[in-house]
């Protein structure tokens, strides 16, 4: 097994190396959501001498144990961690203004304000000159995301402005990730093992209404945050006052974000699990 894992490591590092050789980014960050795919990708990136650290978008509506896992893992491996929260349009503010999100239209808005703006800030803070590129290593895998994957995510490297997206585990299977975690002696995130997702974002736009029952059972503090927001929405008389409706509720007033402005590299786990 060690030879197979070593071959995966060699191939993954070659993807990162090729991206650096072609585009010359000044920094290379692992996008570390707290899920096991992102753990593998970030740890793999840390083996490369160009590795600059890990990046985590703190959405403000997620399971705190996952954020703790990200911070603790970075400390254990001596990785620099850049963690950014939304600067404007927090989840709470958006929900109390327009109700809970449901479906693609509101999901685009959540993604844009809760994650993409945090990533844009990371890029702004680390560019060294106007033509600079910032490498962003993802845990995207074809086997996990086939039906939702577009052309930009089906190749090892793509560039969008200053963002250089690098997908070194694109061809890995879930079993490959499990073997890599064991081989590298990495600690697993208990949230993933219990919920089968990282829980770093619980915006609910693509959630099944039964998921709140699982969150209530395993992570009641995160569920309480959601239930408190539901009550505040009801108190305000908002139509969409329930997290994760079974289907799109009537009365949505979300302003649509232009899909061209929304980067496709986020939220693959959540979107992929709830596609029709």
pTM of the shown model? 0.90
Tell me the per-residue pLDDT of 12-65, one tens digit each, with 9 for 90 and over: 999 999 999 999 999 999 999 999 999 999 999 999 999 999 999 999 999 999
- For residue 263, the model assigns a pLDDT of 67
Tell me the per-residue pLDDT of 196-237, one tens digit each, with 9 for 90 and over: 999 999 999 888 878 899 999 999 999 999 999 999 999 999
The answer to whether the beta carbons of residues 134 and 164 sit under 8 Å apart is yes
The answer to whether the beta carbons of residues 114 and 86 sit under 8 Å apart is yes
CATH 3.50.50.60 fits 2-271, yes or no: no
Alpha carbon 255 to chain centroid, angstroms: 23
pLDDT grade for 276, boundaries at 50, 70 and 90:
very low
DSSP SS3 for 229: helix
Residue spans of the domains in the chain: they are 2-271
Which residues have CB under 8 Å from 55's CB, separation 6+?
Answer: 29, 30, 31, 32, 81, 82, 83, 84, 119, 122, 136
Share of the chain above pLDDT 90, in %: 70
Token look-up 């994650």 returns: 115
Average pLDDT value for residue range 239-268: 62
In 56-210, alpha helices (H): 64-76, 91-98, 104-111, 117-126, 142-145, 174-183, 190-195
Instruction: Say if residue 273's pLDDT is above 70.
Output: no
Share of the chain above pLDDT 70, in %: 84
pLDDT grade for 80, boundaries at 50, 70 and 90:
very high
pLDDT grade for 123, boundaries at 50, 70 and 90:
very high
pLDDT grade for 88, boundaries at 50, 70 and 90:
confident
DSSP SS3 for 81: strand
Which residues have CB under 8 Å from 196's CB, separation 6+?
Answer: none
Instruction: Look up residue 247 and give its DSSP letter.
Output: S
User: Rounded to whole angstroms, how far apart are CA atoms 60 and 70?
Assistant: 15
User: Rounded to whole angstroms, how far apart are CA atoms 166 and 20?
Assistant: 9
pLDDT grade for 2, boundaries at 50, 70 and 90:
confident
Six-digit token string for 177: 């990730």
Residue 152 parent element (H or E): none
- For residue 248, the model assigns a pLDDT of 47
pLDDT grade for 272, boundaries at 50, 70 and 90:
low
For residue 57, what are the β-bridge partners? 84
- For residue 252, the model assigns a pLDDT of 47
- For residue 250, the model assigns a pLDDT of 45
User: Rounded to whole angstroms, how far apart are CA atoms 204 and 226?
Assistant: 10
pLDDT grade for 114, boundaries at 50, 70 and 90:
very high
């Amino acid at each position: 097994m060690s030879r197979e894992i070593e071959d995966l490591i060699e191939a993954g590092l070659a993807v990162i190396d090729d991206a650096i050789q072609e585009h010359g980014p000044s920094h290379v960050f692992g996008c570390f959501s707290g899920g096991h795919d992102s753990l593998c990708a970030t740890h793999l990136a840390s083996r490369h001498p160009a590795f600059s650290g890990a990046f985590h978008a703190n959405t403000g509506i997620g399971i705190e144990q996952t954020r703790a896992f990200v911070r603790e893992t970075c400390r254990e491996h001596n990785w620099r961690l850049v963690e950014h929260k939304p600067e404007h349009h927090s989840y709470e503010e958006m929900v109390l203004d327009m109700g809970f999100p449901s479906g693609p239209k509101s999901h685009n808005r959540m993604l844009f304000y809760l994650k993409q703006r945090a990533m844009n800030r990371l890029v702004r803070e680390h560019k060294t000159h106007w033509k600079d590129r910032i490498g962003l290593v993802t845990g995207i895998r074809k086997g996990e995301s086939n039906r939702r994957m577009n052309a930009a995510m089906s190749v090892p490297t793509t560039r969008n402005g200053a963002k250089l997206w690098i997908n070194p585990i694109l061809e890995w299977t879930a079993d490959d990730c499990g073997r890599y975690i064991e081989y590298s002696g990495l600690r697993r995130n208990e949230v993933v093992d219990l919920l089968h997702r990282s829980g770093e974002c619980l915006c609910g736009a693509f959630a099944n209404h039964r998921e709140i029952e699982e969150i209530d059972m395993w992570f009641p503090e995160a569920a309480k945050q959601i239930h408190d927001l539901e009550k505040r929405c009801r108190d305000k008389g908002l139509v969409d006052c329930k997290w994760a409706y079974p289907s799109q509720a009537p009365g949505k007033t979300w302003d649509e974000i232009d899909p061209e402005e929304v980067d496709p590299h986020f939220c693959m786990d959540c979107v992929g699990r709830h596609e029709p």
